[in-house]
């Protein structure tokens, strides 16, 4: 089957992109996208495009945290197998917690689809503040108490419930484009696919139960009866193109701060921070990067003041005496849909009422929050349906 891909931007990847930043003079990612070793769709995708070796991370599941207020530090170390004996070890669990505290987490995978996290599990105490809230804030990119318990349950079911072998953190190395995008473009080229960037879809022609044409800025093309269309665009763009399509209409921002300074010796590759603006610090060989999820209240913050504030937290945590180094702030204003029960119900399935039109994206009904894993799964389903449809 011949494949033709039209990309609206100058480069492929959407939010999963890298670029040469003129302020820093180095290649950086628009955001620090973490995947886990148990993300099977990510694993299979990278294997298919020949990039299995481009994720870096520890050999075991380790999640280091520090509290800015108290100065306390701890590391979560889930054991490899599914029987979670790690919660019985004071050296592996959150300080101040007991085995019984973790039992509450089993309610999430069984939660009602319309229940919030606050309606399902306790939202106070050491376990909440020391693990559950920062973990789910990163996964859902939504204020956690109002987040969907079912989506949180899906995260728990596919990570912690599977044991440490499914929870090893993985970061794209050397960057997102080199890991997820460039090898895929090369793979497609090797298969004879036609890829064109800078070609935005302006409209879709429909007749009866099928798509008949696609209108681009450079002209209109006809869609043959035996051809299928996979629409992989942001949800708001899909809603403009497809009549009557219901999509999530609330979104949350993600902010990333990059500092051109080498991390100190022994710095954790990834460090969770409690009690400040900073939420996660990622240590790269040549720089430090900070991620702040659900960063809506920072959308309009003055950039230099914000960089200074975040750097003061980073330097305090990592023991730097250095003044503010070269920095960059990157804000994705509509990074993901709001992962609430109401917004989750607005996510459409991959198949549409037009028999040759399919949707792909982390905002479709994947059963997961807006993640790379969910986006890849949606693409797999769309491709399978396109190949097996009845013309």
- 8 Å CB contact between 68 and 314: no
DSSP state of 78: -
User: How far is the CA of 46 from the CAs of 60, 181, 186, 188, in angstroms?
Assistant: 20, 10, 13, 13
Mean pLDDT, rounded, for 174-197: 96
What secondary structure, in 3-state letters, does 156-209 show? HHHCHHHCHHHCCEEEECCCHHHHHHHHHHHHHHHCCCEEECCCCEEEEEEECC
Query: H helices of the chain, where?
Result: 40-48, 99-103, 126-127, 133-140, 149-158, 176, 182-190, 235-241, 303-318, 341-345, 372-388
Q: What is the pLDDT of residues 219-271, one digit of tens each?
A: 999 999 999 999 999 999 999 999 999 999 999 999 999 999 999 999 999 99
Q: What is the pLDDT of residues 353-367, one digit of tens each?
A: 999 999 999 999 999
Instruction: Give me the CATH code for the 251-337 domain, please.
Output: 3.90.660.20
**Residue 30 confidence class, pLDDT cut points 50, 70, 90:** confident
**What is the pLDDT, as a whole number, of residue 15?**
83
**Residue 391 confidence class, pLDDT cut points 50, 70, 90:** low
Q: How far apart are alpha carbons 49 and 185 in whole angstroms?
A: 9
Parse the chain into domains and list their residue ranges.
60-167, 251-337
**What is the pLDDT, as a whole number, of residue 26?**
94
Mean pLDDT, rounded, for 84-110: 97
- The closest alpha carbon to 314, from 332, 339, 298, 292, belongs to 292
Q: What is the pLDDT of residues 146-168, one digit of tens each?
A: 999 999 999 999 999 999 999 99
Q: Please determine, for residue 144, whether its predicted confidence score (pLDDT) is greater than 70.
A: yes
- The closest alpha carbon to 269, from 170, 353, 175, belongs to 170
- 8 Å CB contact between 362 and 370: yes
**What is the pLDDT, as a whole number, of residue 48?**
98
Q: Is 266 left (phi over 0), alpha (psi -120 to 50) or beta?
A: left
Q: How far apart are alpha carbons 185 and 177 in whole angstroms?
A: 10
**What is the pLDDT, as a whole number, of residue 46?**
98
Provide the b/e sequence for 87-110 (b: ≥16 CB within 10 Å). beeeebbbeebeeebbeebebbbe
Q: What is the pLDDT of residues 69-81, one digit of tens each?
A: 999 999 999 999 9
**What is the pLDDT, as a whole number, of residue 66?**
98
Q: What is the pLDDT of residues 325-340, one digit of tens each?
A: 999 999 999 999 999 9
Question: What backbone torsions phi and psi does residue 36 show, to the nearest 5 degrees?
Answer: -120, 155
pTM of the model: 0.96
**What is the pLDDT, as a whole number, of residue 16?**
83
Q: Helices (H), strands (E): how many in the chain?
A: 11, 19
**What is the pLDDT, as a whole number, of residue 305?**
98
**Strand stretches in 55-155, DSSP E:** 55-56, 63-67, 73-76
């Amino acid at each position: 089957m011949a494949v033709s891909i039209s990309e609206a931007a100058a480069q492929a990847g959407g939010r999963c992109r890298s670029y040469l930043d003129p302020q820093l003079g180095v290649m950086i990612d628009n955001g620090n996208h973490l995947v886990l070793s148990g993300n099977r769709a990510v694993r299979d995708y990278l294997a298919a495009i020949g990039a299995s070796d481009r994720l870096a991370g520890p050999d075991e599941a380790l999640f280091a945290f520090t509290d800015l207020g108290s100065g306390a530090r701890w590391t979560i170390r889930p054991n490899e197998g599914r029987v979670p004996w790690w919660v019985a070890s004071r050296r592996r669990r959150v300080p101040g917690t007991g085995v019984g505290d973790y039992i509450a987490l089993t309610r999430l995978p069984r939660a009602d689809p319309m229940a919030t996290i606050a309606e399902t599990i306790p939202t106070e105490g050491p376990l909440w503040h020391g693990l559950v809230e920062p973990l789910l804030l990163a996964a859902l990119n939504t204020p956690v108490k109002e987040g969907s318990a079912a989506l949180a349950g899906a995260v728990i079911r596919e990570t912690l419930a599977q044991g440490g072998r499914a929870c090893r953190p993985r970061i794209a190395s050397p960057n997102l484009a080199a890991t997820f995008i460039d090898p895929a473009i090369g793979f497609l080229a090797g298969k004879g696919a036609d890829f064109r960037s800078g070609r935005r879809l302006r409209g879709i022609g429909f007749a009866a139960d099928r798509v008949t044409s696609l209108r681009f800025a450079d002209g209109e093309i006809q869609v043959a009866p035996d051809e299928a269309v996979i629409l992989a665009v942001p949800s708001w763009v899909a809603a403009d193109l497809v009549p009557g399509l219901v999509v999530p209409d609330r979104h949350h921002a993600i902010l990333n701060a990059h500092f051109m300074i080498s991390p100190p010796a022994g710095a954790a590759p990834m460090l969770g921070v409690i009690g400040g603006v900073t939420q996660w610090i990622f240590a790269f060989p040549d720089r430090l990067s900070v991620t702040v999820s659900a960063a809506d209240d920072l959308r309009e913050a003055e950039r230099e003041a914000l960089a200074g504030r975040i750097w003061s937290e980073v330097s305090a945590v990592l023991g730097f005496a250095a003044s503010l180094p070269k920095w960059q702030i990157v804000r994705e204003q509509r990074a993901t849909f709001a992962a609430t029960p109401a917004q989750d119900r607005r996510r459409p399935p991959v198949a549409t009422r037009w028999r040759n039109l399919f949707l792909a994206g982390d905002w479709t009904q994947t059963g997961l929050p807006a993640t790379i894993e969910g986006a890849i799964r949606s693409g797999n389903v769309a491709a399978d349906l396109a190949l097996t449809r009845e013309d």
